[in-house]
Structure 1
Amino acid sequence: MSMHESLENILIIKPSSLGDIVLALPALTALRKAFPDAKISWLIRPEFAPLIENHPHLTDVIIFERKLLGKAWFHPYAFASLLSLIRRLRRDKFDAVIDLQGLFRTASLAWLSGCKKRFGIANAREFAHIFYSHKVAPDTDCVHLVDYYLKIIRAAGASETLAHFVLPQDPAAADSIRRLLTSHGIRPDNYAVFIPGSAHSDKCWPTQRFAALADKISSRFHVSIVAAGTESESDTIEDLKNLANVPIANLAGQTSISELAALLKAARLVVSNDTGPGHIAAALSVPLVMIFGRSNPARVAPYARPQCVAAIEADNRGLETDSSDPKHDIKAVTSGQVYQKVCEQMNP
């Protein structure tokens, strides 16, 4: 694409997951800087939409009901909903579609939109690359997803692509979190947040180690401990409470995405598995320790913050997304390693 060609109507396709959406936020900001007058839309699953609603660099949010649309081949209502979405995309007449998901369903939607300029991941799974007019290969010397997404944005015509994380601020959510913390007897300016759960059990650092860490942090830094997560993770947090010798507030399932962001933003420290809330904390630049197992930290660690990573061989895993090497099991990350990282974050 010519450097002088301006885009007026851009669609970003990145429906999920929460952490990956956070890592794509710098791409949105880079697009807005490159094309200040463009309409920029984002196709996203409904459960993650609150993260980007009212984003200052976004014009429109298009909801992608993946669970419903996945039934389109046998369910009449789902098929009608899919046709409605396709009509909506074609009606919008995008002059660039950027698929950062790289799956068959998202790449095919890019093609079905009727847009002629479709940018995507060169080695996308499920043969998704066949739907792209512009296939962008990752750099072999820089594997972080933020950098890769920004490279795709440059292919679409953006020239200045420094990584800036912008998250919408919600004053009402911040007020809600202050009330919630106060109801648990916690000062809203003196707490640490633990994220002990994950959608993948092999990404979960052992609960008993979180409990021991809570005791140490509470004793040394005199902060209250809050544990957050989805409602399904409440049992994990209850186990954490029972194992710890200090009080832990269980906020699982009690926060919206906006409230979760507000909770993380005001924390003195966040300790998290490699999961969505941890990536929100990273984007907010709060003191953070993120614990990695099989996931390659070089790809998804807090961007430009290597001091936040607790992992085995964090910088020596090559280009692979995940490792099957037993030495990279999350249980191999010791309590001492994580506590040292915590001390470095609390005493920079």
Structure 2
Amino acid sequence: MSNRLPPSWRGARRILCVRLDSLGDVLMCTPAMRALRASIPGCYLTLLTSPSGAAAAPYIPELDAVIGYRAPWMKHAQPATPSALQDCAKRLTDGPAVPGAGRFDAAVIFTSYSQSPLPAATLCHLAGIPLRLASCRENPYQLLTDWVPEREPERATRHEVQRQLDLVGHVGCTTADTALSFAVPGAAAACVKTMLEAAGIDPAAPYLVLHAGASAASRRYPIRHWQDLLGMLGARFGFPLILTGDQGERESLRPLTETRTGPVHSLIGKLGLGELGALIRSSRLLITGNTGPAHIAAAVGTPLVDLYAPTNPQPPLARRAPPAVPRRQLPQLPAQPLPARTPRLSRSPGAKYGIGGGRRAAGKRPGTAGAHRGCGPGLRLTGSVLTLSTCESAKDWAQTYNKNSSIPTSSDIISEFVGA
């Protein structure tokens, strides 16, 4: 047990980790969960999260159990019932799903700086959880027993992983291993191998994965630009191109599956989360938007091109770039007019970015060097991550792409990145 733990936390064994967002947000909390487990031996970690976040739990070895919950203060397609808060509080009052375990001893509430932890803290207070830790801008008074005053974004912005590590560090929990967790099951890897062989693809040879979907329309790269990208990749490299996406995206992504340029294979709607992780882990490169598979790539160490829509108030390099990868900086693009061709990469030799790393990432060291404040127009490549942001705000993202056929599709940049 860490000797840095406050006396009140030394007896905590049944700990509730609260992260009510989606898959990627949960994965960015896994180093902090590892810190809890390493610093409090014998603790039992339960994750309270959204249904989409709960899907990641079987692949996070730091977790012992998961509770799915559609919190009424979070965005969900289905409206919450009037009794949703009380029903969840009663479920939490029963404690972990272990016979005779008793109630939860503590709750750690993970949030981004733009979110308030107070609704979740109220839920945990109603459930009688005695220790409640969170970062909060307002004085929480009795809702939190361990309050970390919120300093972002006024005093710079941290990587999400570092933010959550700092939170648990407030109660003395630390870890030297700050990589994201996503454990690919052997059965999932075998299943993907079989599927690739059935499609005539050598699983041991290079292939690229393109995940074109996203839950929000504002975060989707336009289909016509994906089509341009498929054509470029097929013509220049000849690698098999594998399309992935959710079952509900089959129709919207159909134009990509019907392309006649390049060796394109569709696995849209055919993969579970474990199989998707296995496919990404074995690929040469993942190209996607700011969505869950980008974080899976960071966890398994696969190079990533992230077509980032500025839908989050945190700057993309501070929040989304996988940690500890070599950094290459692209020149800023003017807001208007947009150029017909994307400028070539400018390299920043030796520079590093991030705090932890995918399993293949080199040069681990703490820090958030190079984080950008704001989401101004530009193309940025940080080692294993290409971040594309051509709009001043999230509101302009879809409108700009729909109105301008001359916006660069990043083909030249991806070409150089794949060929590097």
Shift of 1:158: 0.9
Write the distance in 1 (CA, Å) between the matches of 2:157 and 2:20.
24
Counterpart Cα distance in 2 of 1:49 and 1:9 = 18
Q: Deviations over 1:266-297 (max 9, x none)?
A: 11110010011111112211011111121420
Deviation track 1:78-134 (CA, whole Å, cap 9, x = no partner) reads: 68853641332397433321111445553322222322221113138xx98973222
For 1:89, which of 90, 95, 116 is the aligned residue?
A: 95
Structure 1 residues 339, 31: CA separation in 2 closer, same or farther (over 3 Å shift)? farther
Q: Distance in 2 between matches of 1:100 and 1:161?
A: 20
Counterpart of 2:219 in structure 1: which amino acid? K
State whether residues 30 and 60 of structure 2, in contact with CA within 8 Å, keep that contact through their aligned partners in structure 1. no
Q: Does 1:64 align with 2:57?
A: no
Deviation at 1:4, TM superposition (A): 4.0
Change (3 A) 1:336 1:252: closer
Q: Give, in whole Å, the separation in 2 of the partners of 1:25 and 1:218.
A: 36
**Distance between the aligned counterparts of 2:331 and 2:272, measured in 1?**
29
Taking the aligned partners of 2:90 and 2:331, their CA distance within structure 1 comes to: 45
Query: 2:115 aligned with 1:106, yes or no?
Result: no
Determine which of 78, 82, 86 is the counterpart of 1:73: 82
135, 138, 143: which is aligned to 1:131?
143
Could you tell me which residue of structure 1 aligns to residue 237 of structure 2?
Answer: 221
Helix, strand or coil for the counterpart of 2:324? coil
Q: Deviations over 1:38-88 (max 9, x none)?
A: 2222123344334222633222223335579964426xxx68853641332
State whether residues 261 and 280 of structure 1, in contact with CA within 8 Å, keep that contact through their aligned partners in structure 2: yes
Aligned-partner Cα distance in 2 for 1:2–1:50: 34
What SS does the corresponding residue of 2:95 show, helix, strand or coil?
Answer: helix
Q: Report the AA paired with residue 417 of structure 2.
A: E
SS at match of 1:181: helix
Bigger mean CA deviation after superposition, 159-168 or 327-336: 327-336
Structure with the higher fraction of residues in helix conformation: 1
More displaced 10-residue stretch of structure 1: 273-282 or 111-120? 111-120
1:15 aligned partner, one-letter code: L
**Secondary structure of the corresponding residue to residue 28 of structure 2:** helix
Write the letter of the residue equivalent to 2:413: Q
Q: Give the match for residue 227 of structure 2.
A: 211
Alignment partner of 2:251: what SS?
Answer: helix
Q: Is the 8 A contact 1:270 1:281 kept in 2?
A: yes
Name the residue aligned to 1:305. Answer: 325
Secondary structure of the equivalent of 1:283?
helix
Structure 2 counterparts to residues 134-213 of structure 1, below 5 A: 134-136=146-148, 137-138=150-151, 140-160=155-175, 163-189=178-204, 190-213=206-229
What's the CA shift for 1:16? 2.6
Deviation, structure 1 residue 179 = 1.9
AA partner of residue 95 (structure 1): D
**Conserved? CA contact 1:16–1:44, under 8 Å:** yes
Does the aligned pair in 2 maintain the 1:50–1:258 contact within 8 Å?
no
Mean Cα displacement is larger for which, 293-302 or 256-265?
293-302
Gaps of 5+ in 2: 334-369, 377-390
Change (3 A) 1:209 1:3: same
Alignment correspondent of 2:361: none
**Contact 1:211–1:244 (CA<8 Å) still a contact in 2?**
no
Deviation per CA, 1:149-174: give whole Å up to 9, x if none: 11111113213465222222201111
- Counterpart contact for 2:180–2:298, Cα < 8 Å: no
Q: Which moved more, 1:253-262 or 1:103-112?
A: 103-112
- In the other structure, the counterpart of 1:260 is 276
Q: Pick closer, same or farther for the CA change 1:193–1:69 going to 2, 3 Å.
A: closer
Q: Is the 8 A contact 2:23 2:52 kept in 1?
A: no
1:49 lines up with 2:64 in the alignment:
no
CA offset digits 1:171-216 (Å, max 9, x no partner): 1111111222223232223321111111111211122222222222
* Aligned twin of 1:344: 417
2:256 aligned residue: 240
Q: Aligned equivalents of 2:269 and 2:305: distance in 1?
A: 22
Counterpart CA distance in 1 for 2:331 and 2:40 is 39
Choose 63-72 or 103-112, whichever is displaced more: 63-72
Check the 8 A contact 1:121/1:129 in 2, yes or no: no
Counterparts of 1:245 and 1:115 in 2: how far apart (Å)?
57
Inter-partner Cα distance in structure 1 for 2:171 and 2:375: 24
Return 5+ residue gaps in structure 1 as ranges. Answer: none
The count of residues paired between Structure 1 and Structure 2 equals 341
Q: CA deviation at 1:34?
A: 1.8
Question: 1:279-320 deviations in whole A, cap 9, x for unaligned?
Answer: 111221101111112142022222233748989689433499
Partner of 2:131: 117
CA contact (8 A) 2:243 2:268 kept: yes
* 8 Å CA contact 1:122, 1:129 repeated in 2: no
1:22 equivalent in structure 2: 27
One-letter amino acid of the structure 1 residue matched with residue 275 of structure 2: E
CA–CA distance in 2 between the matches of 1:238 and 1:306?
A: 35
Distance 2:228 2:174 in 1: 48
| 8 A contact 1:289–1:310 mirrored in 2 | no
CA RMSD in angstroms comes to 3.6
> Which stretch shows the higher mean deviation, 101-110 or 145-154?
101-110
**What's the % identity of the aligned pairs?**
23
Q: 1:233 offset after TM fit, Å?
A: 1.4
Question: Could you tell me how far apart the structure 2 residues matched to 1:81 and 1:274 are?
Answer: 33
